[in-house]
Each structure stands twice: as structure tokens, then as C-alpha cells.
Structure 1
Amino acid sequence: MKRTNYLVPIVVSCFLATGCVSKKQFAELQTSYRQLQTENSDLSKSYQQAQVTLAENRANIKSLEERLAEAQQNNADLKASYASLQGSLDKSIQQGNINISKLVDEINASNRFIKQLVEAKDKSDSLNMVLTNNLTRSLTKDELQEVDIKVLKGVVYISLADNMLYKSGSYEINERAGETLSKIAKIITDYKDYDVLVEGNTDTDPISRPNIRNNWDLSTLRASSVVQELQNKYGVDPQRLTAAGRGEYNPIADNTTALGKQRNRRTQIIITPKLDQFMDLIDQAPEATDSTAASIPEAPLPME
């Protein structure tokens, strides 16, 4: 482009110097010259604009390269974070699987223990029903009028009226009590896995005897008389027997009436499964670890 600027004046000068140029040709040359100057000016502007554009493009390219490098670095960081998270996740899953396996084992152990308790309770309930049925069938209609038999929460209660057991105002066993006690003793002997508590109860009327201080004494002496009768006369193992007196403090009826007092004057023979059998089961209960104890719900035992 600069060569064109120099060339046109030189050519014009040569034509002028030789004198071979006509006016018409000279005018044409001038016109061409002006056109070339215009084109040269346009080219210069285009060149400058191209330079500016090139500089901008180079700047954009540099910016894009920096952004690309930053994106690549971010991508590398994300890959590293993903790998770290994946490793932690794999470790957590593995640890979780171990914990779940332990939890399942403990739940299964607890379920087995609960099943043992339920089976023991069901067995006890079944034996109680058989015991009660056998005893009820062995008593006469007259005896059943003075003997009350109940099963409450796995315990058999045999309630005997005082007038069928003792002489009036005394703790000595009367003659008519023998037949009933013999039948009860046979049931007790047949069911060796049960303990027997004999419990004396009185009404609120005070006792006035030289050798009996109060109703506590009377109730306890009556229970002791029944225990010794079962042991000495009917051969019940004394290790299974317990005598207790509750005096007037465990009434089942109103002591202001004659009928209520009669009901309160009673002796209960309480037949229960041996507690040591259930305590042995309790000792066998699986222990939960600290990590899983909070997550294992307590399974309620079925109760009557």
C-alpha cells in the first residue's frame, strides 16, 4: 500500500518530464491518482480496524484460555472431591452393613428370648388351668361353696373359709378340714414346679385370748397350722411352703356387715410358678451393645 503512494507521483513526474503526456491523459492520471489515494485511505482504515480487531481477538483468546484452564482445574478438583466422597460412601456403606448385621443379630436374639418367655408363660398358664380344673373336679358341691378358686396373672388362688378349717376363734385345724386339705395337698404334690404360700386373713374384730395378742398373731398362726398340716399329714415338701399372716389389713369385703366379716375371715393357698425358673430366663436375656441399644425398641411381653 505504501509502494502505491510513492509510485503514482513518480509515474506522473516521468510523464511530465518527457513531455509526452497530453492534457487529457494528465487529467486521467490525476483522477486515477485521487482514486488510488481514496482507496489507500480506505485500506489504511481497514488495516487499522483489522489491527484493533486482532488485538481484541487475541485478548479474548487469552481470556478464554484462562477460563479454560480454570474450568479444567475446577473439573480436576471436582473429580478429586467425587473420588473422596465415593470412598467415604463405600466405607460408610460397609460400616453400615456391619452395624445392620449386628442389629439384626441382636433383634433375632431378643426375639428368641421373648419367644422363650412367651412359651414359658403359655406353659405356666396351661398348667394353671389344668391344676384348677383338676382341683375343681375333685371337690364336692358342698366344698365348692366354701372354696373359691381363681387364676389371676398366672397365679392360682384357693380361698378357704375359716369355719371350714379352724375351730371357732382358734388356729387349730378342725376335723372337717381334712378331706378338703387332702385334695388340695394332692394337687400341690402333683405339680412340683410350683411354690405354695399359705396366707391367713381376719376381720377387724379384736381377738381376746391369752396366747394370741392380736389379729396379726391369729392370721399367722392359722397359716402356720395349715402349712404344718400339709407337711406333716399329707407329705408336701416343706421347702415349697411359706406361711404368712396379713391380719385384718387385706379385706375383700366390708367389715361393717356380718357377711363381709365372714368373707374376710379366710385363708388363701396361693400356688405360683417357681420364680427362679423365670429369673434363670432373665439371666439368659441378650445384652444390647451401646451402639444399638438406643435403636432397638423394647418388645412388650404379653400380659393377661
Structure 2
Amino acid sequence: MKKIVLLALCAGFTLTSCVSKKEFAALQAKQQQTEDLLNTATVKLNSCLTDRSTALAKAEGLQNRLDDLKASNQQLIESSKDLTMLTTKGADNLERSLESLKERDLKITRLQDALTKKDSVTLALVTSLKKEVGMDDQDIQINVEKGVVFISLSDKVLFKSGSYNLSTRANEILGKVATVINGKPDFEALVEGHTDNVPYSGGGVLIDNLDLSAKRAAAVVRQLITLGANPAQLIAAGRGEFLPLVPNTSAENKSLNRRTKIYILPKIDQFYEMIETEMKNLEKGGQ
């Protein structure tokens, strides 16, 4: 730029002597125009260079962003694959869990059906006993305890005080019980003797209340056999004073504790056989 100006000045001095003032003015004007064009071109060039630098910076930023997007996209693809695998495994596990729950619910239903059947048999047995025995006596009770039917007889209706010899009325009562037992060949009868806590003092072959309760239970079983009950269904047991209904704190309470209970219960092996049969039916149904 400076060289051009110097050359122009030299040319001006040289030409001053050779050209007219009018021509010199024209040359100066043209020189000024050329300088203006040069300045304009320089400004545009600098602007273009600036724009180019900005464009390159933007291009670099876009490239970096594109690279990041590609990397993120690849990660999403990999994550999607992992998620698909997890979802498939989760679906399989859920399906297996649902099948397991269905199978478990079916087993529970089968067991409930078996227990319902047992409850129905128990209810029928209570009805049968009450109908057969047909007694409205506070000394004779027919009830259900933990799913087991039992007859509770006060010692007053079966025995004399301190004795294991049966009374006359006992034959009438036990005859009806024997009829019920004979009508239930799949059941057993557990005869259980109980006393109060007054020490036994009758002497003879008996030692204590435990002996007395066992002898009374055996006497009831023996009489049931005489009345026609199947001996294979009968069990005798003595509990002495060790399982009282109420505390032995009064004469009335002691009277309640002196009792004989006859449990009418399904044979345990047959009950389990019934459940086992239901389980086998379940397994067949699942195949």
C-alpha cells in the first residue's frame, strides 16, 4: 500500500513537469478512487476471513456434536439390546412365577376341598350323635374341639365316686355311642378318663388318680365292646388330674373336671390318604 502511494507521488512529481494541471487533477482523482476501492476490498477481505474463521469454528463444533450424537446413539443401541434381553428374561421369569402361583393356588384349593370335606363329615357326625344320643343333660355334652367331635360325660352318669365300676345308666348311654361307632367304620373312638386333684385313697390295685382314670377309660372301652362296638376302633387312655377343664378350687369345679371324654375321630392315616389322593389328582391334572 505504501509502495503504491510513493510510486504515485514520484509519478506525480515527474508528470508535473510534463502534464497540465487538468490532467494531474484527473490522475489524482483516479488515484483516490483506486485507493478507495483498495480499502473497500481490504475491508471485505478481512470480513471474509473473519466469517471463514467463524464458519470453521461452527463446523468444528457441529462435527464434535455429531461425534457425540453418534456415540450416544451407539450407547442407546447397546442399552436397547441389553434392555431387550432383560425384558425377555423378565417376561420368562414372570411367566414362570405366574405358573408357579397358579399351581400353588390349585394345591391350596385341593387342600381346602379336602378340609371342607372333613368339616362336612364332622358336621354330619355331630348331627348323627345328637340325634342318636338325643339327650338334653348338662352332664352329657356333644361338641367339636379343634375339628374333632367328642362326647363329654360327667363321672356322675358313669361311675360311683372313687370307683371304676360302671353305673346302670352308663349302659344306656354307651349303647347309643356304640351304635354311632358301628355306623362309622372309618373312624376311631378314643376314650379318655379325667379326675380332679383330690388324691386317690380307695386302696386296692389302684395307686393314684392316673390309675383311676385309666381304669375308667378301660371300663368304658370294655363295655362298648360288649355292646357291639368294633374293638379295633377303640382306644383307652387315662389323663388323671393333669388336664383339668377349670381350676380345682371348688366342689363344683372338681365335679366338672371328673369326666370321661369319648373322641370320635377319623383315622389319621385315612385323612392323610385323602389329602395324598387329592395331590395325585392335582399332578395328573397338571400334566
Give TM-score scaled by structure 1 length.
0.77
Aligned to 2:156: 163
* CA RMSD across the alignment: 3.2
Q: Distance in 1 between matches of 2:225 and 2:31?
A: 146
Paired residues, number: 277
Aligned to 2:190: 197
Aligned to 2:285: none
The correspondence for 1:235, drawn from 229, 237, 241, is 229
Cα 1:106–1:275 shift into 2, 3 Å: farther
Cα 1:256–1:72 shift into 2, 3 Å: closer
Cα 1:241–1:47 shift into 2, 3 Å: farther
Shifted more, 90-99 versus 41-50: the winner is 41-50
Offset, 1:256: 3.5
Offset, 1:159: 0.1
Q: Distance in 1 between matches of 2:125 and 2:260?
A: 19
Indicate yes or no: 2:249 matched with 1:263.
no
Aligned to 1:301: none
Aligned partner letter, 2:91: N
Q: Distance in 1 between matches of 2:267 and 2:68?
A: 74
Cα 1:273–1:109 shift into 2, 3 Å: farther
Offset, 1:166: 2.5
Aligned partner letter, 1:168: S
Q: Distance in 2 between matches of 1:271 and 1:14?
A: 150
Q: Distance in 1 between matches of 2:99 and 2:259?
A: 52
The correspondence for 1:96, drawn from 61, 78, 90, is 90
2:132/2:180 contact within 8 Å kept: no
Cα 1:75–1:219 shift into 2, 3 Å: same
Give TM-score scaled by structure 2 length.
0.81
Unaligned runs of 5+ in 2: 283-287
Aligned to 2:114: 120
Aligned to 2:105: 111
Q: Distance in 1 between matches of 2:178 and 2:80?
A: 74
Indicate yes or no: 2:206 matched with 1:212.
yes
1:8/1:33 contact within 8 Å kept: no
Q: Where do residues 9-20 of structure 1 align in structure 2 (5 Å cutoff)? A: 16-17=17-18
Offset, 1:16: 4.7
Aligned partner letter, 2:139: E
Offset, 1:169: 1.6
Indicate yes or no: 2:253 matched with 1:246.
no
Aligned to 1:60: 54
Give per-residue Cα distances to partners, 1:82-101, cap 9 Å, x unaligned.
11121112112211111111
Q: Distance in 2 between matches of 1:189 and 1:34?
A: 148
Q: Distance in 1 between matches of 2:221 and 2:214?
A: 11
Aligned partner letter, 2:30: L
Cα 1:276–1:44 shift into 2, 3 Å: farther
Q: How many percent identity over aligned positions?
A: 31
Offset, 1:10: 5.5
Give per-residue Cα distances to partners, 1:37-81, cap 9 Å, x unaligned.
433343333333333323322222322222222222222212211
Q: Distance in 1 between matches of 2:268 and 2:97?
A: 31
Aligned partner letter, 1:212: L
Aligned to 1:292: none
Aligned to 1:137: 131
SS of the equivalent of 1:176 reads: helix
Offset, 1:181: 1.4
1:255/1:261 contact within 8 Å kept: yes
Unaligned runs of 5+ in 1: 287-304
Offset, 1:265: 0.7
The correspondence for 2:169, drawn from 155, 167, 176, is 176
